[in-house]
Amino acid sequence: MKKLIIVILLSTLILVGCTTRELSNETDIEELVFQPCQEIQKDSSIPLGIQTVPTDYMKPARQQGKVVRFDYMTNTYDYQGRVMKKYAYVYIPYGYETSAERYDVVYIMHGHTGDVTSFPGELDNLTDIKNVIDHLTENKEMKPMLMVFASYYHDNVDMDTDDYDASLTEAFGKELQNDLIPQFENAYRTYASSTTEEDLIASRDHRIFLGFSMGAVTTWYRMMDSMRYFRYYVPFSGSLYWGNYATVDQYERDDPSWIAQLLENAITAQGYTADDFYVLALTGTKDFAYRTVKMQIEDMKQHPDMFHYDSDAVKGNFTLLLAENEEHDYHAKRLYIFNALPILSQMIAKRDMSSSAIHY
């Protein structure tokens, strides 16, 4: 039985990284090591922290993924009730076309006045964020993942809103749930065996929602309405105080005491608990979002029954990583992508390993 478990766990590691030693008959599960030198043990933790992006990672990798356009049909889900054709940009990792494996999916949202190019760039002029993702995958610091760069704007066109897009970030949940997820995951090979509601829910452990600025607000909102589809939430430089629930009086008084309760109530209403999610928030100390992000994290700490804070290692269900002197810009997005994706990848791999051990 022990040998069977080791074979299964080794197969999982091959998909996400490599081992630093060969297995013998006497090898114990605790000796398996994930690249780069991160031990994934039954009781191990995953170190957290901000590291600088290596200069070489910003140059084209040897094994390059590609970015393509994905068209889908949706609705405005507002007073217009209008059907519309939209598109997302999709990062396809190197080797996808020749593989039979299933892939984790990261749904990524831009900020105010942004669009689907905000992270990857134009199809004919890709950014070095794409290069960073290529290098992380090639060096087996993260699992190869599909990434969907979407937009909350109708018709993919920037809209003049009087709330800095707060209403749009909230409303995007219906488009995501009803249209983007099922149409995309019907077209690509993900962990969803089909696009029935049952199979989409069953594959939630392999789905991440990530966003920057108002895209971070979008991410917090998805915790409130899309928990059945996502286990992992990654808000970059944005708090739920920027959403539609804050009153002017609360915001001006720096009154944070309502935000965690709002989140907790929404999670509970969806039928989920503290064991069903992980939040990895990142921001910079010189980012104008820093103040409200810190306020939200501190308020969440006051609700330990739902939110278990991590500071050094992944043992709870949420943390805040701070980047010294980082501002609200492209450089910060690149830094956060470089740091967040390997952490999440290791979390998914560790969960897969634990699940395999339980089932066998």
- pLDDT at residue 1 above 50? no
| Global pTM exceeds 0.85 | yes
Give the C-alpha separation, 86 to 148, whole Å: 13
- pLDDT at residue 164 above 90? yes
Most confidently predicted of 2-11, 224-233, 307-316: 224-233
DSSP string for residues in 95-128: TTTT----BEEEEEE--TT--TTTTTEETTEE-H
- The mean pLDDT of the chain is 87
The 10s digit of each residue's pLDDT in 125-149 is 999 999 999 999 999 999 999 999 9
Higher pLDDT, 16 or 311: 311
Q: Indicate the pLDDT class of residue 342, thresholds 50, 70 and 90.
A: very high
Predicted pLDDT of residue 249: 60
Nearest to 142 by CA among 357, 311, 337: 337
Mean pLDDT of the 104-121 span: 98
Q: Indicate the pLDDT class of residue 49, thresholds 50, 70 and 90.
A: confident
The 10s digit of each residue's pLDDT in 283-339 is 999 999 999 999 999 999 999 999 999 887 788 999 999 999 999 999 999 999 999
DSSP E strand stretches across 180-260:
207-212, 232-236
- pLDDT at residue 194 above 70? yes
- pLDDT at residue 157 above 50? yes
The 10s digit of each residue's pLDDT in 244-282 is 876 556 655 567 789 999 999 999 999 999 999 999 999
DSSP secondary structure code for residue 47 in this structure = B
First and final CA of the chain: distance in angstroms?
8
Q: Indicate the pLDDT class of residue 45, thresholds 50, 70 and 90.
A: confident
